C-alpha cells in the first residue's frame, strides 16, 4: 500500500502526460501568461520548458529577444550559453572539424529518448567510434552506386503527382515529399522500403507521427524517466488509446525483426543490399555492446526521423517559393530546359550541380527551412573558447542555431525574403564564404552524416519536377504564413498548427503541354 510521495508524484505525472501524448497532435496547448523576469533563464530549466513545451517550441524566439536586449552572448539556462554573432571564425572553433575533442551537452542529448543513438552520444570519442561504423555508407561512392534507386523513386513520385493533378485533385506536396524521403531513407539505409508513395494520400499519418514525436522533445528532455514508464505499457492498451505511441512501437518492432535477420544471416537476412545494420555489425572496432538489437534499432529511428523531415521541409518550402514567384519560376525553367533538353531524360545529379540558378534557389531553400531549427550545444572539455572580450571556461555548454544565423540581417539582408539573386554574381570565394553560414546540416565532427544523400535527392527532385511539371503546376489555397513558414522549434521546425501544407493543382490548359 505505501507509495512514497516521490513515486506517487511520478505516477500522477505519468498519467497526465500519457493522456496529453495521445491528444497533443490534434491540439497545441493554449499560451498562458508570460513568465516575469528573464533572470529565471539563468536559474532554472523551467523557463526553457515553459517556452518550448507549454508555449510550443518558442524558446528560440525568446533567446533571439534576449540577444537583442543583452548582446551577442547570453546565458539561457543554468549551464548553457547562447551566441548570436557574425564571427564565422568563432562558429568554426565552436564546431571544429579536426583537432579538438567536443562533447554534446547532456541536457540536449536527452531530448530524443534514445541515448544509444549516435546523434545523442555525449562523449566525443564514443561518438567518433559509432559514426565511423557507417560514415562510409554515406560517401559519394555509395550514393553514386545507388543513384538508380533514387531516380526510380523520384520518377515514381512524379508519376503520382501527375496522376493526381490529371484527376483534378489538389496534391499536398508536404505529404508527397515526406513519403518520398521516407521511402528513400528506409530503402537506402535498411533495404526495407515502406512504399509510402503507394499508400492512399501518401500516408499522412507517418509524417504526422514523426512531427508529433518531435513536439515531445522538450517534455522528454525535462522528464527523461517518462519514456521507460511509457515503454512498460502493454501493446493492447497503447494501440487502443494512443496512435502516436503505437506507431513508434510498430516502427521499433519492424526494425528489430530486420536486425535479427541480419544478425542470423543466411536466408533469414532478406535485405537486397548492404544496410547500416551490416555496417555496424561488421565494424571490428566496435565492441559487442555496441552491436545489440536495441542500439541498432535506436540508430534506425534516428535516421528515419532526420532523413524524412529535414529534406521534405526544404523541398516543400522551396517548391512553394518557386511556384509563388513567376520570375523565379521562369528563370529556373529556362536554365533547366538548356541543361535537360528532353524532359523525359534522366540526367545524373552532377548535371544539376553545375547550374548556378538552381543552386541559388536551393541555397535560399536551405536558408529558410533551417534543417534543425534548435540550437546545437557543444562543450569543449579540455580547452577554453575566446569570444570577443570573453573567455568561456572548459566544459561550458555553448550553442547557436541555424535560425539565428540564417535570419541575421548583417549576413543576409532582407532575411525573410526568398531571394536567389543574393547568391548570384559573386566571386567564387565570396559565394563560398556566404554559403559557410548555412547551418542546415550542422558542422564540424558532428555534421549530419546524411548530407550528401540529402543533396542527391534534392537535386534530382527539383531538377526533374520543374523540368517536367513546372509549367503545369500552380498553388492551390496555400499561404506562406499559414501553411509554409516554420515557426515552432521542436528541434526539427514545424509550421503553424493550422497549416494545410503546400497544395498544388494543374494549371488550366496545361494538360496539352504534357511531357
Sorted by where each starts, the structural domains of the chain and their CATH numbers stand as 5-513 (1.10.630.10)
User: What does the alpha-carbon distance between residue 513 and residue 371 come to, in Å, rounded to a whole number?
Assistant: 35
- Write out 470-502 in H/E/C secondary structure: CCCEEECCCCHHHHHCEEEEECEEEECCCCCCC
**pLDDT value of residue 286:** 93
Can you give the C-alpha Rg of the chain in angstroms? 23
Q: Can you give the pLDDT of all 515 residues of the chain as single tens digits? A: 344 444 555 555 555 555 554 444 333 332 222 334 567 888 899 999 999 999 999 999 999 999 999 999 999 999 999 999 999 999 999 999 987 899 999 998 888 778 889 999 999 999 999 999 999 889 999 899 889 999 999 999 999 999 999 999 999 999 999 999 999 999 988 888 889 999 999 988 888 878 877 888 888 888 888 888 888 889 999 888 877 778 888 888 988 999 999 998 888 888 888 889 999 999 999 999 999 999 999 999 889 888 999 999 999 999 999 999 999 999 999 999 999 999 999 999 999 999 999 999 999 999 999 999 999 999 999 999 999 989 999 999 999 999 999 999 999 999 999 999 999 999 999 999 999 999 999 999 999 999 999 999 999 999 999 999 999 999 999 999 999 999 999 999 999 999 999 999 999 876 644 44
In this prediction, residue 13 carries a pLDDT of 57
Using DSSP, state whether 387 is helix, strand or coil: strand
Rama region for 195: left / alpha / beta (φ>0; ψ in -120 to 50; rest)? left
pTM of the model: 0.89
What is the per-residue DSSP string for 31-96?
P-PPPS-TTHHHH-THHHHIIIIITTS-HHHHHHHHHHHH-SEEEEETTEEEE--S-HHHHHHHS-
In whole angstroms, what is the distance from residue 157 CA to residue 458 CA?
13
Model pLDDT, residue 115: 83
Give the integer Cα–Cα distance in Å for 87 and 436. 11
Binding-site residue numbers are 448
Closest Cα to residue 438, out of 464, 393, 402? 402
Q: What is the pLDDT of residue 327?
A: 98
* Among candidate residues 422, 421, 424, 403, the one with its CA nearest the CA of residue 412: 422
3-state secondary structure of 505: strand
Grid cell 509524417 is found at 207
Residue list, annotated binding site for heme? 448
Reference 161, options 173, 144, 174; nearest CA is 173
Contact 66/375 with Cβ under 8 angstroms? no
Q: b/e string for 331-357 if b means 16 or more Cβ within 10 A?
A: bbbebbeeebeebeebbbbebbeebeb
How far, in whole angstroms, is CA 377 from its chain's centroid? 16
pLDDT at residue 244, as a whole number:
74
**Torsion angles phi and psi, residue 116, rounded to 5:** -85, -5
| pLDDT (0 to 100) of residue 16 | 57
Contacts of 410 (CB under 8 A, 6+ apart): 86
**What integer pLDDT is reported at residue 459 of this predicted model?**
98
Query: Would you state the pLDDT for residue 489?
Result: 95
Amino acid at each position: 500500500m505505501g507509495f512514497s510521495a516521490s513515486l506517487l508524484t511520478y505516477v500522477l505525472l505519468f498519467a497526465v502526460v500519457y493522456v496529453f501524448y495521445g491528444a497533443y497532435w490534434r491540439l497545441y496547448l493554449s499560451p498562458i501568461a508570460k513568465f516575469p523576469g528573464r533572470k529565471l533563464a539563468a536559474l532554472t530549466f523551467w523557463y526553457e520548458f515553459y517556452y518550448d513545451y507549454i508555449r510550443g517550441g518558442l524558446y528560440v524566439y525568446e533567446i533571439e529577444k534576449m540577444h537583442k536586449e543583452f548582446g551577442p552572448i547570453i546565458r539561457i539556462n543554468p549551464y548553457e550559453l547562447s551566441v548570436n554573432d557574425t564571427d564565422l571564425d568563432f562558429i568554426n572553433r565552436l564546431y571544429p572539424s579536426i583537432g579538438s575533442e567536443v562533447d554534446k551537452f547532456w541536457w540536449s542529448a536527452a531530448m530524443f529518448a534514445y541515448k544509444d543513438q549516435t546523434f545523442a552520444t555525449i562523449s566525443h570519442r564514443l561518438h567518433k567510434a559509432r559514426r565511423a561504423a557507417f560514415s562510409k555508407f554515406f560517401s559519394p561512392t555509395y550514393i553514386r552506386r545507388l543513384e538508380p534507386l533514387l531516380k526510380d523513386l523520384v520518377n515514381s513520385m512524379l508519376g503520382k503527382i501527375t496522376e493526381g493533378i490529371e484527376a483534378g485533385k489538389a496534391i499536398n506536396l508536404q505529404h508527397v515529399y515526406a513519403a518520398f524521403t521516407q521511402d528513400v531513407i528506409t530503402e537506402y539505409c535498411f533495404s526495407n522500403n515502406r512504399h509510402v508513395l503507394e499508400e492512399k494520400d501518401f500516408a499522412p499519418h507517418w509524417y504526422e507521427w514523426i512531427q508529433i514525436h518531435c513536439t515531445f522533445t522538450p517534455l522528454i528532455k525535462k522528464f527523461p524517466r517518462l519514456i521507460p514508464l511509457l515503454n512498460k505499457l502493454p501493446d493492447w492498451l497503447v494501440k487502443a488509446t494512443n496512435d502516436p505511441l503505437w506507431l513508434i512501437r510498430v516502427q521499433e518492432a519492424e526494425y528489430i525483426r530486420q536486425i535479427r535477420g541480419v544478425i542470423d544471416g543466411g536466408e533469414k537476412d532478406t535485405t537486397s543490399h548492404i544496410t547500416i545494420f551490416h555496417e555496424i555489425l561488421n565494424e571490428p572496432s566496435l565492441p559487442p555492446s555496441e552491436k545489440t538489437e536495441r542500439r541498432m534499432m535506436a540508430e534506425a529511428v534516428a535516421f528515419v526521423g532526420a532523413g524524412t523531415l529535414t529534406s521534405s521541409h526544404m523541398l516543400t518550402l522551396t517548391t512553394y517559393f518557386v511556384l509563388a514567384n513567376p520570375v523565379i519560376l521562369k528563370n529556373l525553367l529556362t536554365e533547366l530546359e538548356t541543361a535537360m533538353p528532353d524532359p523525359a531524360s534522366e540526367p545524373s545529379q552532377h548535371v544539376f550541380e553545375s547550374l548556378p540558378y538552381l543552386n541559388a534557389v536551393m541555397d535560399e531553400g536551405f536558408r529558410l527551412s533551417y534543417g534543425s531549427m534548435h540550437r546545437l550545444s557543444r562543450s569543449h572539455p579540455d580547452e577554453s573558447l575566446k569570444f570577443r572580450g570573453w573567455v568561456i571556461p572548459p566544459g561550458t555548454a555553448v550553442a547557436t542555431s541555424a535560425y539565428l544565423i540564417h535570419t541575421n540581417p548583417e549576413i543576409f539582408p532582407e532575411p525573410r525574403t526568398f531571394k536567389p539573386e543574393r547568391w548570384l554574381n559573386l566571386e567564387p570565394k565570396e559565394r563560398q564564404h556566404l554559403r559557410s553560414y548555412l547551418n542546415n546540416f550542422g558542422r564540424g565532427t558532428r555534421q549530419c552524416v546524411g548530407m550528401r544523400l540529402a543533396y542527391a535527392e534534392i537535386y534530382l527532385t527539383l531538377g526533374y519536377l520543374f523540368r517536367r511539371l513546372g509549367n503545369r503546376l500552380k498553388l492551390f489555397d496555400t499561404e506562406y504564413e499559414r501553411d509554409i513558414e516554420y515557426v515552432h522549434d521542436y528541434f526539427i521546425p514545424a509550421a503553424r498548427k493550422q497549416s494545410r501544407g503546400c497544395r498544388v493543382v494543374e494549371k488550366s490548359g496545361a494538360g496539352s503541354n504534357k511531357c
